[in-house]
């Protein structure tokens, strides 16, 4: 009886392992005409490298086949050579089938059995179509330069160029908006009109943030998703910085006002300190780096407070007791403010990414330096007070 039970458990284990492998196993096969006897390669696409995943000799019928495992949708390059390849997005248990001709392998091919690969095909085909149209207009523009009627036809070509660009932007943006949980959206978000371009086709930050958040929630282990998520965070920071610059331009000064309560609840405005040299310092009572800097600032304040120097220290804390205790322990006698909710508006406006951070303002309230400390800070304060 025991032997029968043991045998049954072994059989169940084997079946379980076999099923697990089959669940994650995929195949990539197909027919490529005019490539008989050639070698075809499969490479896994990482964010900064390619990892060989196999190679196969194409038989006399043009057939090839790869098998592999993927627990999440994974990007692969299927290559005849370095210039003749297609991009696939393969998920577990998919049976991907490719049909193409060797002569135009990277331009014209069909793919079935993989939704992600079909979406990649659609994205690539649309972008190639757009690039060809734009290249034609550029060539036409170059050929007609110097022609007597060039000035008459140029506006028409320029308008057509802009229309094609906007059509591609709308297509790519809508694709990401409609497929936020598809790994194909990663490709859409990193596509450019030309490789040398600085920006991407999809410029809608909200669309990017939505896709990054959606993908990160289900594929946090993916290198591409991690890169997208980190880039989205960086773009958010840049957007906040741009908003700060715009606010500064609109206000006519480069130090937006801050109005926050001190420990007694009295609201104190940064702008009320015009006429003094001000160190705008962001800190936290529970941050070791901030506490280490405080004694240095105490000495600096003692030396220059009667000469027109003031410190406006903004706390990002959320615990009032810790904040007040730190002020008392470190003997901070200058202006200390904070809303005990992280002072989020102030930190966002001044693009504060970490503490301690500071800005040095002259008597007119203009920012003249950032994140000075030690002798450099004292020298700058002394020079402004002359």
* Under 8 Å between Cβ of 26 and 91: yes
Indicate if the pLDDT at residue 248 is higher than 60. Answer: no
Contacts of 29 (CB under 8 A, 6+ apart): 63, 64, 65, 66, 95, 96, 97, 98
Q: Which residues contact 213 (CB under 8 A, 6 or more apart)?
A: 229, 232
Mean pLDDT throughout 342-353?
86
Please say if the pLDDT value at position 151 is more than 90. no
Q: For the chain, what is the mean pLDDT?
A: 89
Instruction: Give me the mean pLDDT over the 132-157 stretch.
Output: 88
**CB neighbours of residue 326 within 10 Å:** 21
Selected residue with higher pLDDT from 243 and 271: 271
pLDDT at residue 279 in the model: 97
Mean pLDDT of 270-278: 95
Predicted confidence (pLDDT) at residue 346 exceeds the cutoff of 50: yes
Please state the rounded mean pLDDT for residues 245-250. Answer: 57
Highest-scoring range by mean pLDDT, 98-102, 175-179, 200-204: 98-102
Distance CA 164, CA 155 (A): 14
Q: Is the pLDDT of residue 280 over 70?
A: yes
Name 372's Cβ contacts closer than 8 Å, sequence gap at least 6: 358, 360, 380
CATH classification code of 25-111: 2.60.40.1120
pLDDT greater than 90 at residue 1 = no
Domain 259-385 in CATH 3.65.10.10? The answer is no
Question: Binning pLDDT at 50, 70 and 90, where does residue 11 land?
Answer: very low
Residues 101 and 110: their CA atoms lie apart, in Å, by 10
How large is the average pLDDT for residues 320-324?
96
How far lies 144's CA from each of 151, 157, 160, 165, 347, in Å? 9, 11, 16, 21, 53
Q: What is the pLDDT of residue 10?
A: 44
Reported confidence tier of residue 249, pLDDT bands at 50, 70, 90: low
pLDDT range class, residue 18, cuts 50, 70, 90? very low
The tens digit of pLDDT for each residue in 31-76 reads 999 999 999 999 999 988 999 999 999 999 999 999 999 999 999 9
What is the reported pLDDT for 266? 95
pLDDT band at 245 (very low <50, low <70, confident <90, very high): low
pLDDT tier at 147, thresholds 50, 70, 90? confident
Residue 141 has a pLDDT of 86
Assess whether pLDDT exceeds 90 at residue 6.
no
Whether the predicted pLDDT of 26 surpasses 60 = yes
CB–CB of 92/26 below 8 Å?
Answer: yes
pLDDT tens string 364-378: 888 888 889 989 999
Higher-confidence position of 196 and 283:
283
> Which pLDDT band, with edges at 50, 70 and 90, does 7 fall under?
very low
How is residue 164 written in tokens?
Answer: 């094609």
State pLDDT tens for residues 91-103. Answer: 988 999 999 999 9
pLDDT band, very low/low/confident/very high, at 232 (cuts 50, 70, 90): confident
- Buried b / exposed e across 208-234, counting CB within 10 Å, b at 16+? bbbbbebbbeebeebebbbbbbeebee
- 13 has pLDDT over 50: no
| The predicted structure's pLDDT at residue 14 | 42
Q: Where are the domains of the chain?
A: 25-111, 120-247, 259-385
pLDDT number for residue 281: 97
Q: Which two tokens stand for residue 360?
A: 């040095």
User: Token match 């006399």: residue?
Assistant: 60
pLDDT on residue 252: 46
pLDDT exceeding 90 applies to what percent of the chain?
A: 67
């Amino acid at each position: 009886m025991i032997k029968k039970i043991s045998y049954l458990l072994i059989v169940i284990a084997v079946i379980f392992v076999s099923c697990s492998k089959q669940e994650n196993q995929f195949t990539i096969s197909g027919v490529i005409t005019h490539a008989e006897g050639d070698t075809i390669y499969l490479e896994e696409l990482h964010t900064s490298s390619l990892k060989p995943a196999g190679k196969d000799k194409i038989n006399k019928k043009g057939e090839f086949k790869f098998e592999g495992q993927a627990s999440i949708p994974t990007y692969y390059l299927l290559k005849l050579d370095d210039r003749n390849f297609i991009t696939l997005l393969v998920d577990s248990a998919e049976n991907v089938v490719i049909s193409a001709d060797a002569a135009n392998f990277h331009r014209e091919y069909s793919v079935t059995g993989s939704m992600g690969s079909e979406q990649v095909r659609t994205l690539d085909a649309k972008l190639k179509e757009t690039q060809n149209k734009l290249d034609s207009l550029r060539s036409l523009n170059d050929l007609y330069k110097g022609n007597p009627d060039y000035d008459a036809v140029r506006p028409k070509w320029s308008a057509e160029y802009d229309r094609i660009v906007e059509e591609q932007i709308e297509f790519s943006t809508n694709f990401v908006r409609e497929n936020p949980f598809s790994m194909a959206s990663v490709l859409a978000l990193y596509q450019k009109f030309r490789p040398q371009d600085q920006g991407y086709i999809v410029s809608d930050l909200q669309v990017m943030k939505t896709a990054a958040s959606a993908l990160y929630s289900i594929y946090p282990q993916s290198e591409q998703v991690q890169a997208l998520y980190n880039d989205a965070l960086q773009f958010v920071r840049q957007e906040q910085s741009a908003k700060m610059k715009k606010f500064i331009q609109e206000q006519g000064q480069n130090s937006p006002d801050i109005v926050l309560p001190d420990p007694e609840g009295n609201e104190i405005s940064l702008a009320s300190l015009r006429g003094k040299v001000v160190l705008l310092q962001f800190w936290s009572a529970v941050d070791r780096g901030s506490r280490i800097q405080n004694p240095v600032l105490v000495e600096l304040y003692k030396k220059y407070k009667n000469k027109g120097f003031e410190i406006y220290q903004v706390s990002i804390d959320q615990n009032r007791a810790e904040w007040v205790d730190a002020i008392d322990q470190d003997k901070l006698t200058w202006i200390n403010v904070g809303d005990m909710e992280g002072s989020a508006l102030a930190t966002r406006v001044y693009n504060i990414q970490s503490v301690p951070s500071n800005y040095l303002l002259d008597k007119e309230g203009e920012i003249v330096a950032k994140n000075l400390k030690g002798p450099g800070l004292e020298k700058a304060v002394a020079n402004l007070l002359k």
